[in-house]
Amino acid sequence: GQQVMQIPQYQHVQEGEDFTTYCNSSTTLSNIQWYKQRPGGHPVFLIQLVKSGEVKKQKRLTFQFGEAKKNSSLHITATQTTDVGTYFCAESYGNKLVFGAGTILRVKS
């Protein structure tokens, strides 16, 4: 089964509001990846985090890896309608990638 828990399962925000999704694990992660899947589409890689406490930014997206490497977050500043979709975290478990259940983001314009 899946090793990482994602919260919330679903979030509906007004355009311009911020959004955050969290990924939590009971075990120490070697690294974590984030993917975005648009409705009807396929998962697309966003970023990989490797180091404890790492913070990476991509325009309005900020990714963090916890100091203990047991959690990660994705924060979107000032959401836009193009941000809608499901955001998945995925952890390296052995030599395979295990995905969380995802957080569905809907944006009201």
Partner 1 sequence: EAGVVQSPRYKIIEKKQPVAFWCNPISGHNTLYWYLQNLGQGPELLIRYENEEAVDDSQLPKDRFSAERLKGVDSTLKIQPAELGDSAVYLCASSLTSGGPGELFFGEGSRLTVL
Q: Of 25, 71, 88, 107, which lies in the binding site for partner 1, with binding defined by CB under 8 A? A: 88
- 5 belongs to the binding site for partner 1 (CB under 8 A): no
CB of 73 to partner 1, least distance (A): 17
DSSP 8-state code for residue 68? T
Cα–Cα distances (Å) from 69 to 1, 14, 25, 29, 38, in that order, read: 20, 31, 9, 5, 27
Burial of 46 (C-beta count, 10 Å sphere; 0-12/13-18/19+): middle
Spatial distance between the Cα atoms of 35 and 43, rounded to a whole number of angstroms = 6
Binding segment (CB under 8 A) for partner 1, from list 13-21, 43-51, 56-64, 66-74: 43-51
> Which residue from 66, 71, 102, 107 is in contact with partner 1, where contact means CB under 8 A?
102
Cβ 17 to partner 1 shortest distance, Å = 23
Q: Which part of the chain contacts partner 1 (CB under 8 A), choosing from 35-43, 49-57, 60-68, 76-84?
A: 35-43
Q: Is 81 exposed, middle or buried (0-12, 13-18, 19+ CB in 10 A)?
A: exposed
* Member of 8, 16, 38, 41 binding partner 1 (CB under 8 A): 41
Rule CB under 8 A: is residue 48 a binding residue for partner 1?
Answer: yes
The strand pairing partners of 96, in sequence order, are 93
Residue 66 interacts with partner 1 (CB under 8 A): yes or no? no
